[in-house]
Structure 1
Amino acid sequence: MLNNPIFLIFLSIFLGLTIGKIKIFKFKLGVSGTLFTGLILSWLSSRHLTSVPTSLINGLNSYFKFSLILFVSSIGLIAGKDIKKTFKIYGLKFILLGFIITSTGFLLIFLTSFITNFDNFHLLGLFSGALTSSPGLATALENFPNNSKIIFGYSIGYVPGVLAVIFSTYIIPVIFKNNSKKEFENFSRKDFKISEQNPYYFDFLGYSLIVILGLIIGNIKINVKIFDFSLGITGGILISSLFFGSIEKIWIFNFKFNKQILKIIQNFGLLLFLSTVGLKSGYYVINALSFDAFLLMILSFVIAMISITVGLLFGKFIFKINTLILTGSITGGMTSTPGLAAAIDSTNSEEVILGYGATYPFALIGMVIFNKILSYLFLSY
C-alpha cells in the first residue's frame, strides 16, 4: 500500500483533517493539516522503501496537476462573479490593497536574498508560506517541479504566517476603537450578495471549456529578453475561470455555476494539492529541520507582520476603509481562511467576510504574478 498514491493521498487527507480540527487557543491547522500529515507519511514511507518507485512519483505528479485544475478553477469562478461589482462600487481600493500586501512580501523576500545566505529556493517557498498562499506555492512548484526546498520553505513559513494574521485580527479592533458597526452603515451588504441558482446545477460542458482554454493559455510561451515566460496551469486556468466566471452564458455554454458546488470542488482540490505536495517531499523536509529552519520561521513571521502593517496603513489612512471591512481585507490580502475565522471571532461580526471576498481574488492574482517574477529573478543570478 506504500506504493499506492491513491491510498497515501486519502490517508493523509483523513489524518490531516483529523489533526486540523484540534484547536489550541485560537489556532488550528484546518485543511492545512493535510500538508503536514503528507510530509510525515512520506517520511515514514521512505524509511520502509529502498527507493521510491517511479510509478508512485508519476502518480503523485498527475494528481498534483489535477488538484491545481480543480482548486484554481473553482477559486477563479467564485471570484469572477464579484469582479465587476467590486470595480463598480469600490473602484480600485480592494484591488490595490491585495497587490500592496503581496508586493510587500515579494520585496522583503527579494531583499532578504541579498542580505542573507538562505537558499533562494527556501525563500521562494517561504514567500508563499509567510503569506499563507497555497496557490502561490502551486505557481512556484510549476516553475520548479518536485523541488523539495520550495516545499520546505513553505512548510516552515506557513504556521508563523497564519499566527501573524490571527494576531493582527485581534489587534486591529483594539488599535482602531471607533464605532465600526455604525461606520459600516455606509456600506451596502446587499451589494456583495450573489443570487443563488438551482443548488444542483453545474454545467460540465461549460466547465470543460474553461479548463481546456485555461490549459492552452497556460502553455503559451512569451519571449521576454533573457527568459521565456508562460503562465502555466495556475495562471492559465485562473485567467480563463475569472473571465468566464464574470459572464453568465455564451451560446450553449452556461457559466452560472452554483457557488456551493464550486466551494466543494475548491476544498477537494485544495486537499488533493496539499496531500500530494506533502507526500512528494516529506523525507527531505523533515530531515532538513535545523537551526536555520528556526530562523526561517522567525523571518516568516516578520515578513507577514510587515506585509499586514503596510496593508493596514494603506487601507485605513489612504483608502479610508471601514475597520470591520479592513480587518477582513487584511485576511483576504494574506489569502488566509484561518485568519478570516479569527477575524469573525475577534470582531463578533460576519461583515468582515465582505472585505475578505473583495480582496482575496486580487491577492491571489498577485501571488501568482510575484511567484513567477521571483522564480525568474532567482534564476538570473
Structure 2
Amino acid sequence: MANLINSLFPPESVAFSVFVLSLTSAAGLFIGNIKVFKINIGIAGVLFSGILLSYFGLHPNEKILEFTREFGLILFVYAVGTQVGPGFFSSFKKDGVRMNLMATVIIILGVLITVALFKVFKVDMVTAIGMYSGAVTNTPSLAAAQQTIINTPFSGRVNQISVGYALAYPGAIIAIILTMIIIRAFFRKETEADMENISKHQNVSEIENVSVKVENRNLDGVKIEDIPAIDSLGVVISRIWKNGNLSVARCGDVIRLGDVLLAVGTKNNLNEFLKIVGAKSETDLNKLPSKIIHSRVVVSKKNVIGKKLSETSVYSHNVIATRVSRADVEFIISDDYVIQFADNIVLVGDENDVLRAAALLGNSPKDLNHPQLIPVFIGIIVGVFIGSIPFNIPGFSQPLRLGLAGGPLIAAIFFSYIQNIGSVSWYMPPAGNLMIREIGIVLFLSSVGLKSGDSFFQMLISGEGARIVMFSFLISMTPILIVGILMKFRYKTNYLSLCGALAGSMTDPPALAFANSLSHSNASSMSYASVYPWVMFLRIISAQILVITFLG
C-alpha cells in the first residue's frame, strides 16, 4: 500500500504531503471514535494513525510537517483561549478558588512525580516530559515542550517527546475514570447524598417567575424601584396588574395594595421577595390574555457593544429587559449590565414595541454565524509576538518564552475576555471556534505522529516501553487520587463537582463525559469549566519549565 502511494506522487511533493496528512487525519478520527467499554481515545486517534502510517513507510516532506505542526498548534491553542477566555477570571470567584487551588496541587504533584521518576528510576528526561503530557491528557503541553526543546542541546530528539506522550495517553483516560470510581466506593453514602443535594440546588438556582400580590401596607404608594431589597435580591418586575389592566412594569410605576406584580429571579430570592411584598397571587399574569409578549433578542449590532443597556434607546420603546444569557449562563439584568456581542436578552412588551427594540440590538442570528476573520488574525499576530518575548526567571539557565503554544493562548484569553475594542469584536461563533480548534489539533497530531513512527515502535517492543506505560499510570492516578480523597474527606466537596474538577485538572473530555453520565445535573461541567482555563495555562508552563530545568 505504501509503495503504491509513493509511486503515484513525486517524492517530497506538496501533493504527497497533503495526501498523507489527510489520510492520517481521516483514519485517526475514525480510530478515535471506536469505543471500547464505552470509552474512546477521541482526537488522540490521529496521533496513533500518524505513527502507524509512518511506520509503514509514508514519510511526507519534513519542512511541510514542521509547518503544519506549528500552524496547527497555533490554531488549536488560539481557539482554546477564545473558548475559555470569557470565563477565565470569573473562574477564581467563590468556590472556583478552592477548585483551582486543588487543580494547582494536582499539577505540582504530577511534576514532582515526573522528576522523581527521572531521578530515582533513571527515566530518560526527554521521554519523561512527553510521558508527563500524555499522562495528564494535555496536548498543548506536549506542543509547548516540543517548542521549547528546539532551543536546547536536545533539539534532535524532539520526536521522542511525542513517543512518551503516545505511550502514556491511553492509560491516562482509564486512570482518571478509575479514580472517580474508587472515590465513589470509599464515600458511597456521601456521594449518594451529594447527588440529591446538587439536584435540589440546581432547581433553586434556576431563574423563574412568580406572580406576587401586594399586601404589605408599607409599600402602598411606593415606586417599584424603591421596593426594599429589590436590587440586592436581583429581582426584576416585568409586568403589573392594576385595576384589571395588565401592562409592562416601569421602575417609576407606583404600586398599590392589591396590585399583582410578575417578579423574575432565582427561587430563593423570589421567596425572600414574597416575604417583603405580600404573597403569591392566585392570578398568574403569564396566563392572562394580553398583547404583551416576551422575546429573546440576540445582540448583533456593533454600535451597542460595550454600552450599558440604559445608554441605548431600547427602553424608549416601552419594553423592559429581564434576563440575559451569555456563554450558556443566564442571569438577571442589573443596572451595571454592559452589552456584549452575541448576548441573548429577554425583552418584555407589546409585540410592535419589542420588534422595534430588537432592531436596535440587531437580532440577526445570521451575523453571529459569520465569523470575523480580521480579529482572529490580529489575535494570532499578537500571540506569536507575545510568545517570542524572552523573560528571565531566577534559577533558570535560559530565558523562558511562552512560544507558539503559550503566546496565542494568552492573546486569545485576553481578547475574548474584553470581548471588543471599539467596533472590533473577538466573539467567535461556537461552531466556528470548534472547527478551527479541531482542524488545528488534527494538523498538529497528524504531523507529530508522522514524525514519530519508528521511535514509537522501537520503544514499544523494548522493556522501556512497558516501564513508561507503568510510570505514566502513576503520574496520572496518584495526584488526583490523593487530592480527590482529601477534598472529599476534609472539605466535604460535592462528589459531582469534584469529578468535574478532577477531569478538568487533566483537561480530559472522556472523563468529563463519564462524570456527566452519573447525573442529569450540570455540576460536573460547571466545575470542569471553572478549572479548565487555569489548568491549561499551568500545564503549558509546567512542561516548558521541565524542559528548561533539566534539558536547558
Question: Larger relative contact order (C-alpha < 8 A, sep ≥ 6)?
Answer: 1
Q: Which of 363, 367, 373 in structure 1 is aligned with 2:545?
A: 373
Q: Which of 68, 71, 79 in structure 2 is aligned with 1:74?
A: 79
Aligned counterparts of 2:532 and 2:390: Cα–Cα separation in 1: 27
Q: Which of 392, 407, 419 in structure 2 is aligned with 1:223?
A: 392
Q: What's the CA shift string for 1:259-312, capped at 9, x where partnerless?
A: 332122212211111111101111221122211111110111122111211331
Q: Which of 485, 490, 493 in structure 2 is aligned with 1:321?
A: 493
- Is 1:244 aligned to residue 258 of structure 2? no
Q: Which of 175, 180, 195 in structure 2 is aligned with 1:181?
A: 195
Mean Cα deviation higher: 311-320 or 76-85: 311-320
| Aligned partner letter, 1:285 | F
Residue correspondence of structure 1 range 256-275 to structure 2 within 5 A: 256-275=427-446
Mean Cα deviation higher: 161-170 or 328-337: 161-170
CA contact (8 A) 1:97 1:314 kept: no
Q: 1:192 to 1:262 in 2, by over 3 A?
A: closer
Mean Cα deviation higher: 350-359 or 241-250: 350-359
Q: 1:143 to 1:213 in 2, by over 3 A?
A: same
Q: Which of 136, 142, 164 in structure 1 is aligned with 2:175?
A: 164
Mean Cα deviation higher: 76-85 or 117-126: 76-85
CA contact (8 A) 1:247 1:256 kept: no
Residue correspondence of structure 1 range 13-24 to structure 2 within 5 A: 13-24=25-36
Aligned counterparts of 1:193 and 1:136: Cα–Cα separation in 2: 28
TM-score normalised per structure 1? 0.91
Aligned counterparts of 1:192 and 1:262: Cα–Cα separation in 2: 13
| Aligned partner letter, 2:458 | N
Partner of residue 94, structure 1: 99
Partner of residue 150, structure 1: 161
Partner of residue 6, structure 1: 18
- Once the two structures are TM-superposed, the CA of residue 101 in structure 1 deviates from its matched residue by 1.5
Mean Cα deviation higher: 175-184 or 367-376: 175-184
| Aligned partner letter, 1:78 | Q
Partner of residue 193, structure 1: 328
Q: Which of 26, 35, 58 in structure 1 is aligned with 2:63?
A: 58
Q: What's the CA shift string for 1:104-161, capped at 9, x where partnerless?
A: 1111001111101221101010000111110110111101246121111111111111
- Once the two structures are TM-superposed, the CA of residue 344 in structure 1 deviates from its matched residue by 2.1
Partner of residue 234, structure 1: 405
Aligned counterparts of 1:154 and 1:276: Cα–Cα separation in 2: 14
Partner of residue 299, structure 1: 471
- Once the two structures are TM-superposed, the CA of residue 59 in structure 1 deviates from its matched residue by 0.3
- Once the two structures are TM-superposed, the CA of residue 58 in structure 1 deviates from its matched residue by 0.5
Aligned counterparts of 1:85 and 1:355: Cα–Cα separation in 2: 12
CA contact (8 A) 1:192 1:354 kept: no
Aligned counterparts of 2:24 and 2:53: Cα–Cα separation in 1: 7
Partner of residue 57, structure 2: 45
Aligned counterparts of 1:265 and 1:319: Cα–Cα separation in 2: 39
Mean Cα deviation higher: 218-227 or 327-336: 218-227
Q: Which of 312, 317, 326 in structure 1 is aligned with 2:484?
A: 312
The structure with more radius of gyration: 2
Aligned counterparts of 2:443 and 2:178: Cα–Cα separation in 1: 29
Aligned counterparts of 2:74 and 2:36: Cα–Cα separation in 1: 33
| Aligned partner letter, 2:118 | S
Partner of residue 512, structure 2: 340
CA contact (8 A) 2:133 2:142 kept: yes
Q: What's the CA shift string for 1:240-271, capped at 9, x where partnerless?
A: 11111111211232012223321222122111
- Once the two structures are TM-superposed, the CA of residue 192 in structure 1 deviates from its matched residue by 7.3
Aligned counterparts of 1:205 and 1:314: Cα–Cα separation in 2: 47
Which stretches in structure 2 are left out of the alignment for 5+ residues?
7-11, 151-156, 208-325, 331-341, 344-364
Q: Where has structure 1 moved over 6 Å in runs of 4 or more? A: 189-192
CA contact (8 A) 1:98 1:360 kept: no
Q: What's the CA shift string for 1:22-54, capped at 9, x where partnerless?
A: 2111322222111100001111125xxxxx67x
CA contact (8 A) 1:218 1:236 kept: yes
Q: Which has the higher strand share?
A: 2
- Once the two structures are TM-superposed, the CA of residue 340 in structure 1 deviates from its matched residue by 1.3
Q: What's the CA shift string for 1:193-228, capped at 9, x where partnerless?
A: 347564504221211111111100000012345212
Q: Which of 76, 85, 94 in structure 1 is aligned with 2:90?
A: 85
CA contact (8 A) 2:91 2:531 kept: no
Matched residue SS, 1:246: helix
Partner of residue 450, structure 2: 279
Residue correspondence of structure 1 range 194-213 to structure 2 within 5 A: 194=329, 198=365, 199-213=368-382
Matched residue SS, 1:335: coil
Q: What's the CA shift string for 1:169-188, capped at 9, x where partnerless?
A: 33333333322233224464
Q: What's the CA shift string for 1:57-112, capped at 9, x where partnerless?
A: 10011011111111101111111111233233435123212222211111100111
Q: 1:347 to 1:301 in 2, by over 3 A?
A: farther
Q: 1:243 to 1:362 in 2, by over 3 A?
A: same
RMSD of equivalent CA atoms = 2.2
CA contact (8 A) 1:172 1:327 kept: no
| Aligned partner letter, 2:99 | F
Matched residue SS, 1:99: helix
Q: 1:277 to 1:301 in 2, by over 3 A?
A: same
Mean Cα deviation higher: 157-166 or 180-189: 180-189
Q: Which has the higher helix share?
A: 1
Which stretches in structure 1 are left out of the alignment for 5+ residues?
47-51
Mean Cα deviation higher: 190-199 or 151-160: 190-199
Partner of residue 361, structure 1: 533
Q: 1:244 to 1:156 in 2, by over 3 A?
A: same
| Aligned partner letter, 2:195 | K
Aligned length: 373
Partner of residue 112, structure 2: 107
Aligned counterparts of 1:94 and 1:214: Cα–Cα separation in 2: 28
